[in-house]
Amino acid sequence: MEDQGPTEPKPREYRDPGPAADAIARQVIAAAIAVHRELGPGHLERIYERALAVEFSHRGIAFQTQVPADVHYRGVLVGEGRIDLLVEEWVVVELKAVETLTTNHTLQALWYLKVTELPLALLINFNVPLLLQGVRRVVPALD
Protein backbone atom coordinates (compact mmCIF):
# COMPACT_ATOMS: atom_id res chain seq x y z
CA MET A 1 0.00 0.00 0.00
CA GLU A 2 1.37 3.37 -1.00
CA ASP A 3 1.93 6.05 1.68
CA GLN A 4 -0.36 8.95 0.92
CA GLY A 5 1.34 11.34 3.33
CA PRO A 6 -0.34 13.24 6.11
CA THR A 7 -4.06 13.70 5.83
CA GLU A 8 -5.74 17.04 6.24
CA PRO A 9 -7.56 17.38 9.54
CA LYS A 10 -11.32 17.36 9.19
CA PRO A 11 -12.66 20.91 9.46
CA ARG A 12 -14.72 21.55 12.59
CA GLU A 13 -18.38 22.24 12.20
CA TYR A 14 -19.98 25.00 14.24
CA ARG A 15 -23.49 25.60 15.46
CA ASP A 16 -25.48 28.21 13.62
CA PRO A 17 -26.68 30.67 16.26
CA GLY A 18 -29.72 31.50 14.14
CA PRO A 19 -31.23 34.73 12.85
CA ALA A 20 -32.41 36.04 16.25
CA ALA A 21 -28.91 35.89 17.76
CA ASP A 22 -27.41 37.35 14.58
CA ALA A 23 -29.85 40.30 14.69
CA ILE A 24 -28.97 41.00 18.32
CA ALA A 25 -25.25 40.74 17.49
CA ARG A 26 -25.68 43.39 14.79
CA GLN A 27 -27.36 45.70 17.33
CA VAL A 28 -24.55 45.11 19.85
CA ILE A 29 -21.86 45.84 17.26
CA ALA A 30 -23.64 49.03 16.12
CA ALA A 31 -23.88 50.23 19.73
CA ALA A 32 -20.21 49.36 20.36
CA ILE A 33 -19.17 51.29 17.24
CA ALA A 34 -21.04 54.35 18.56
CA VAL A 35 -19.27 54.07 21.93
CA HIS A 36 -15.88 53.59 20.28
CA ARG A 37 -16.38 56.60 17.99
CA GLU A 38 -17.09 58.77 21.02
CA LEU A 39 -14.50 57.42 23.47
CA GLY A 40 -11.83 55.91 21.23
CA PRO A 41 -9.27 53.37 22.47
CA GLY A 42 -7.26 53.65 25.69
CA HIS A 43 -9.81 53.33 28.51
CA LEU A 44 -10.41 50.55 31.02
CA GLU A 45 -12.90 47.78 30.20
CA ARG A 46 -15.24 48.99 32.95
CA ILE A 47 -15.53 52.41 31.25
CA TYR A 48 -16.58 50.77 27.99
CA GLU A 49 -19.03 48.53 29.84
CA ARG A 50 -20.71 51.52 31.46
CA ALA A 51 -20.78 53.48 28.21
CA LEU A 52 -22.22 50.51 26.36
CA ALA A 53 -24.91 50.19 29.06
CA VAL A 54 -25.84 53.84 28.43
CA GLU A 55 -25.94 53.20 24.67
CA PHE A 56 -28.04 50.03 25.04
CA SER A 57 -30.51 51.90 27.25
CA HIS A 58 -30.68 54.74 24.72
CA ARG A 59 -31.42 52.21 21.94
CA GLY A 60 -33.95 50.22 23.96
CA ILE A 61 -31.80 47.07 24.04
CA ALA A 62 -32.39 44.85 27.09
CA PHE A 63 -29.21 43.81 28.91
CA GLN A 64 -27.71 42.72 32.21
CA THR A 65 -24.21 43.47 33.45
CA GLN A 66 -21.80 41.30 35.43
CA VAL A 67 -24.01 38.23 35.25
CA PRO A 68 -22.77 35.46 37.59
CA ALA A 69 -21.66 32.20 35.96
CA ASP A 70 -21.08 29.43 38.49
CA VAL A 71 -18.04 27.16 38.18
CA HIS A 72 -18.57 23.58 39.37
CA TYR A 73 -16.05 20.80 39.80
CA ARG A 74 -17.37 17.29 40.41
CA GLY A 75 -20.72 18.76 41.29
CA VAL A 76 -19.31 21.20 43.85
CA LEU A 77 -19.45 24.96 43.38
CA VAL A 78 -15.82 26.12 43.38
CA GLY A 79 -16.11 29.66 42.08
CA GLU A 80 -17.92 32.17 39.99
CA GLY A 81 -17.17 33.88 36.72
CA ARG A 82 -18.80 37.11 35.57
CA ILE A 83 -20.24 37.69 32.12
CA ASP A 84 -19.67 41.34 31.22
CA LEU A 85 -22.97 41.75 29.38
CA LEU A 86 -25.86 39.47 28.59
CA VAL A 87 -27.91 41.08 25.82
CA GLU A 88 -31.59 40.30 25.29
CA GLU A 89 -30.93 37.11 27.33
CA TRP A 90 -29.55 35.69 24.09
CA VAL A 91 -26.01 36.93 23.36
CA VAL A 92 -22.97 36.92 25.68
CA VAL A 93 -20.73 39.98 25.29
CA GLU A 94 -17.21 39.99 26.71
CA LEU A 95 -15.44 43.33 26.63
CA LYS A 96 -11.68 43.78 26.47
CA ALA A 97 -9.28 46.69 26.30
CA VAL A 98 -6.11 44.81 25.37
CA GLU A 99 -3.42 44.96 22.72
CA THR A 100 -4.72 41.80 21.01
CA LEU A 101 -7.39 39.21 21.67
CA THR A 102 -5.92 35.84 22.62
CA THR A 103 -6.99 32.22 22.60
CA ASN A 104 -7.68 32.52 26.33
CA HIS A 105 -10.24 35.26 25.65
CA THR A 106 -11.97 32.98 23.15
CA LEU A 107 -11.90 30.05 25.59
CA GLN A 108 -13.47 32.25 28.27
CA ALA A 109 -16.29 33.19 25.89
CA LEU A 110 -16.79 29.53 24.93
CA TRP A 111 -17.02 28.58 28.60
CA TYR A 112 -19.70 31.23 29.15
CA LEU A 113 -21.63 29.81 26.20
CA LYS A 114 -21.36 26.34 27.71
CA VAL A 115 -22.69 27.31 31.14
CA THR A 116 -25.45 29.55 29.76
CA GLU A 117 -26.32 27.21 26.86
CA LEU A 118 -26.55 30.29 24.62
CA PRO A 119 -25.67 30.20 20.91
CA LEU A 120 -23.41 33.22 20.41
CA ALA A 121 -20.81 35.34 22.14
CA LEU A 122 -19.11 38.49 20.96
CA LEU A 123 -15.61 39.38 22.11
CA ILE A 124 -15.17 43.11 21.67
CA ASN A 125 -11.74 44.70 22.09
CA PHE A 126 -12.00 48.47 22.31
CA ASN A 127 -8.23 49.02 22.21
CA VAL A 128 -8.08 49.18 18.39
CA PRO A 129 -8.16 52.05 15.87
CA LEU A 130 -11.34 50.73 14.16
CA LEU A 131 -13.75 48.80 16.34
CA LEU A 132 -14.55 46.13 13.75
CA GLN A 133 -10.88 45.09 13.94
CA GLY A 134 -11.53 44.14 17.58
CA VAL A 135 -14.75 42.15 17.18
CA ARG A 136 -14.63 38.37 17.31
CA ARG A 137 -17.74 36.23 16.94
CA VAL A 138 -17.62 33.04 19.04
CA VAL A 139 -19.90 30.05 18.51
CA PRO A 140 -19.56 26.55 19.99
CA ALA A 141 -18.37 23.68 17.81
CA LEU A 142 -20.62 20.71 17.15
CA ASP A 143 -19.28 17.71 19.01
pLDDT of residue 142: 73
pLDDT band at 108 (very low <50, low <70, confident <90, very high): very high
pLDDT of residue 95: 98
In a domain, 133, yes or no: yes
The residues near 130 (Cβ < 8 Å, ≥ 6 apart) are none
Pairing type for strands 120-125 and 91-96 reads: parallel
Global pTM?
A: 0.86
In a domain, 10, yes or no: no
In a domain, 83, yes or no: yes
For residues 43, 45, 50, 52, the Cα torsion angle rounded to the nearest 10 degrees is 90
Domain encompassing residue 74 = 19-138
Query: For 71-104, how does the pLDDT look when each residue is reduced to its tens digit (9 = 90+)?
Result: 889 999 999 999 999 999 999 999 999 999 999 9
In a domain, 13, yes or no: no
Region 40-67: mean pLDDT is 97
Q: What angle do CA 100, 20, 38 make, to 5 degrees?
A: 45
Q: How close are the terminal C-alpha atoms of the chain, in Å?
A: 32
Here the CATH number for the domain that contains residue 57 is 3.40.1350
pLDDT band at 15 (very low <50, low <70, confident <90, very high): confident
**The total number of structural domains that make up the chain:** 1
